[in-house]
A and B are shown apart, each in its own frame.
Chain A
Amino acid sequence: MQAFTRLDATLAPLPLANIDTDQIIPKQFLKTVEREGLAKGLFYDLRFDGEGRPKPDFVLNRPEFKGAGVLVAGDNFGCGSSREHAPWALMDFGIRCVVSTSFADIFYNNCFQNGLLPVVLKADEVASLMDEAKGGNHLVTVDLEAQTVVAPSGRTYAFAIDPQRKEKMLKGLDAIGETLTRAADIDVYEMRQALAKPWLEDA
């Protein structure tokens, strides 16, 4: 996982609720066997018209939001499918942080496997950040150590985050490597279960 510590980046507003993972990365891009190269499919039907031409009005196509690193979006971002292609596509596009009032569980979890920081703020905070993003200055600072988002105006929003998830993201830890240090515990658990539920052993 890529570590996340602090980010100074352009903030792009996406003022829609329930942005689902089919919108983030449509199904035709899921046929890859690679993790990389998914930026081309990010928000495909929002970014491009039926002929594959960029829609000039879509926020990420507008010159002032070029290279955006942070998205601020409406409620329940990332609902729908479990596809990890959604965080992969956002990251591949250069987005390292998404701010919303709420995230769908599986998407939220997938973000932490990849170093994409999902930030939950209150509804009025998301609304004012959204307003600021539509103004002339779009530069925000996201500081995971301090748990703050500093808006273009300088207004600072504090956010909560699970301490273990924060720690892992700050360090970019490998979750599988961590769990394998507990392999002896897993062995013991399996031996106990094999005795208690023998019918699962010869399935």
Chain B
Amino acid sequence: MRSMPGKTLYDKIWDGHVVTEQDGEAILYIDLHLIHEVTTPQAFAGLRASHRPVRRPDRTLAVADHNVPTEGQALGIGAVADEEARLQLQTLERNVKEHGIEFFPMGDIRNGIVHVVGPEQGRTQPGMTIVCGDSHTSTHGAFGALAHGIGTSEVEHVLATQTLRQKKARNFRVNIEGEPIPGVGAKDYALAVIGEIGTAGGTGYVIEYAGSAIRALSMEGRMTLCNLTIEAGARAGLVAPDETTFDYLRGRPSAPKGGAWEMALSYWKTFFSDDDAAWDREITLDAGKIAPLVTWGTSPEDVLAVTDRVPDPESFDTPGKRASAVQALEYMGLTAGQPISDAKVDVVFIGSCTNSRIEDLRAAAKIAEGRKVASHVRAMVVPGSGLVRAQAEDEGLDEIFLAAGFEWREPGCSMCLAMNPDKVPPGQRCASTSNRNFEGRQGRAGRTHLMSPVMAAAAAIAGHIADVRDYL
């Protein structure tokens, strides 16, 4: 008799959450639903119109992050200058109150970017299913949880039923092996993967990251990597939980305690891919061969080593890609063949759900310490939550940044998506630790170069895109 083939981590989480299945479409139970002000008002309006309650308010957690200004938060929502943003924030406040949902409002020390807050509070746990009306929900996969973004109709569906109708995705394993060179980390791994497979390379898959370089990553690094999985087209990224994961979770406010911790731990330890699991696709990268990376264009797949030159659009293989590259170079104000390190920056943004955690700030502060931001550069550091901000202040990181000439802001999504007062002005160039370099993403006609926190700090000091290895 032949034994059943092994299961992947994704297969195991999936199988454990199928409520019922019909013709390949499952009703999948959702353990944790994170919500924020931008993608929920229409969902709550839909519930109200159909007189439907929220099924599990206790499995729902709300924050205010996309719209909030990153200064003056103590003044409250009433002081938010943008009328539409204020209305959205007030609408969320009203909706969570009406439905009894836990909410960390703007100004609460626990508030911050939804994908920083969930893990920080210990709400994100291994083996869970987690959704949020935000594509970077993939972040939570760092804990071995199946986590992905959904649209507003699905937000309403989850609020009403605590389930989602889903078809199963395919399994893709990305192995990253070996040791990185100094100055290279999780952000570079993620950009290397996107550069390798393209922004549609992961479409239809869930990606599991494995290999010695992944095991060596901290939880912050794993979150950065899983966060950017959506930029490779896969809705969810995963890292199997291990001691690093459990150490991070132990003692967090919503992590299980005492006997419950032991029980949870033995459950969490069942979440790994079996040796004989089948993979629909697999690639392997050598961590030691990855240089510090930056993007040159308007798609996250437009990646090159900081020592490289801007590519010639003619070098791309399809007419669509050639046309996009021509348009990208024009938008970015770059010339084919120029060294990318020639590009002078006007703005530096260290923050976002990709890179605003304590470790990101520590790494950037190390580069900034004892140096000065170039005089023509506006550089800002935006911690991912009030708690990250407080911890950084305990460690004196704020003083390092301020002494170097960085602004030290209050938490929020900030300049990642320009839905709040933090924007890249038209035509200006930004070295950014965020996740998307799309046209207009950080502000109309703003030019974004994605890179790691240490690379962004180096760019702030140099005044142009710079190789962090010169600053180590």
Contact = CB atoms under 8 A, between A and B. Distances in A.
Nearest to B302: A18
Contact of A33 (B87, B167, B199, B419): B87
A102 B199 CA distance: 11
B161 A23 contact: no
A73 B31 CA distance: 37
Contacts of B85: 31
Contact of A176 (B52, B254, B318, B321): B52
B161 A176 contact: yes
A47 to B, nearest CB: 12
Interface stretch (B36-44, B108-116, B368-376): B36-44
Contacts of B445: 50
A17 B324 contact: yes
Contacts of A110: 151, 153-154
Interface in B60-103: 66-67, 82, 84-85, 87-88, 91
Given A31-B82, A82-B39, A18 B299 contact: yes
Interface in B275-314: 299, 301
Nearest to B89: A31
Contact of A200 (B31, B150, B163): B31
B323 interface: yes
A99 to B, nearest CB: 14
A199 B29 CA distance: 17
Interface string A172-196: 0001100110110110011001001
Interface string B419-448: 100000010000000001011110011000
Contact of B29 (A17, A22, A32, A189): A189
B171 interface: no
Contacts of B150: 82, 106, 109
B157 interface: yes
Contacts, number: 190
Contacts of A23: 438-440
Interface string B120-161: 000101000000011101000000000011111110110011
Nearest to A84: B151
Among A20, A27, A198, residue most surrounded by chain B Cβ atoms (within 10 Å): A27
Contact of A203 (B23, B58, B149, B438): B58
Contacts of A17: 318, 320-321, 323-324
Contacts of A81: 134-135, 149, 417, 436
Contacts of B19: 182, 185-186, 189
Contacts of B160: 176, 179-180
Interface in A41-79: 45, 50, 74-76, 79
Contacts of A26: 440, 444
B20 A83 contact: no
Given A110-B151, A182-B19, A199-B264, A176 B426 contact: no
Contacts of A18: 199-200, 299, 301, 324
Contact of B45 (A33, A179, A190, A196): A33
Contacts of A185: 19-20, 27
B265 to A, nearest CB: 10
A113 B151 contact: yes
Contacts of B52: 176, 180
Contacts of A34: 41-42
Given A18-B199, A176-B157, A189-B19, A106 B149 contact: yes
Contacts of B237: none
Interface string A99-114: 0001111100110011
Chain A, interface size category, equals: 35 or more
Given A20-B438, A84-B39, A179 B134 contact: no
Nearest to B95: A33
A82 B134 contact: yes
B154 A109 contact: yes
A2 to B, nearest CB: 12
Nearest to B233: A104
A140 B257 CA distance: 62
Nearest to A107: B151
A153 B216 CA distance: 58
Interface string B312-340: 00000011110110010000000000000
A157 to B, nearest CB: 18
B173 interface: no
A80 B151 contact: no
B27 A45 contact: no
A198 B27 CA distance: 22
Interface string A109-130: 1100110000000000000000
Nearest to A27: B419
B260 A82 contact: no
A175 B38 CA distance: 22
Contacts of B418: 27
B165 interface: yes
13 contacts: A16-B324, A18-B199, A22-B439, A23-B439, A30-B66, A74-B323, A84-B133, A84-B153, A106-B150, A109-B154, A176-B50, A180-B160, A193-B29
Given A27-B418, A76-B199, A186-B161, 9 more contacts: A22-B441, A31-B84, A45-B439, A79-B233, A82-B134, A104-B233, A109-B154, A175-B165, A197-B267
Which 3 pairs show the lowest CB-CB distances between chains A and B?
A: A113-B153, A84-B151, A31-B84
Interface of B: 19-20, 23-25, 27, 29, 31, 38-39, 41-42, 45, 50, 52, 55, 58-59, 66-67, 82, 84-85, 87-88, 91, 123, 125, 133-135, 137, 148-154, 156-157, 160-163, 165, 167, 199-200, 203-204, 230, 233-235, 254, 256, 260-261, 263-264, 267, 299, 301, 318-321, 323-324, 327, 417-419, 426, 436, 438-441, 444-445
Interface of A: 15-18, 20, 22-23, 26-28, 30-35, 45, 50, 74-76, 79-84, 87, 102-106, 109-110, 113-114, 162-164, 175-176, 179-180, 182-183, 185-186, 189-190, 193, 196-200, 203
